[in-house]
Amino acid sequence: MGCIFCKIIKGDIASEIVYRDDRVVAIRDIEPKAPIHVLVLSVEHIASLSATTDEHRPLIGHMVAVANELARSEGIAESGYRLVINSGPDAGQDVHHLHLHVLGGRKLGWRT
Ligand code: 5GP
Ligand code: ZN
């Protein structure tokens, strides 16, 4: 399958991995929109947040908790950070594999 995040998780495509466990892999975004821009990927291939079901609730909670820990380890817990999940065309979701953006390290505007 042609999913770029599945390839990164398998190690077929190189990426800077900042955290890994059995349910999530966190990498640095290749095109960072802020000084800190980490992506928390689900290990399981799920096309989008809207494709998740009740069984994924613990996973989604885990992704948010890992993002919070990463904010701490990346040094932006106090200065502030934003979590973003783009789901579907109107949100501009480019990669159809569930992921959560952790953005910080500068003052963030509403859109950017
Ligand atoms: P989306 O728009 O789907 O929410 O976000 C996809 C994100 O993945 C973008 O911020 C984009 O820069 C990032 N991205 C796309 N391809 C790669 C890649 O090969 N490696 C890494 N590290 N990030 C990627
Ligand atoms: Zn995938």
Output DSSP code: residue 39.
E
- Predicted confidence (pLDDT) at residue 81 exceeds the cutoff of 90: yes
| pLDDT, position 24 | 98
| Unique residue bearing structure tokens 């950017």 | 112
CA distance 33 to 106: 10
CA-CA-CA-CA dihedral for 104, 106, 107, 112, to nearest 10 = -70
How does residue 1 score in pLDDT terms, banded at 50, 70 and 90?
low
**0.95 surpassed by pTM:** yes
High-pLDDT (> 90) share of the chain, %: 96
Contact at 8 Å (CB) between 97 and 49?
no
Look at residue 46 and tell me whether its pLDDT is greater than 90. Answer: yes
From the CA of 4, how far away is ligand 1's center (Å)? Answer: 9
Q: Please pick, among 37, 56, 62, 99, the residue that the annotation labels catalytic.
A: 99
Predicted confidence at residue 69, as pLDDT, reads 98
User: Which pLDDT tens digit goes with each residue over 54-75?
Assistant: 999 999 999 999 999 999 999 9
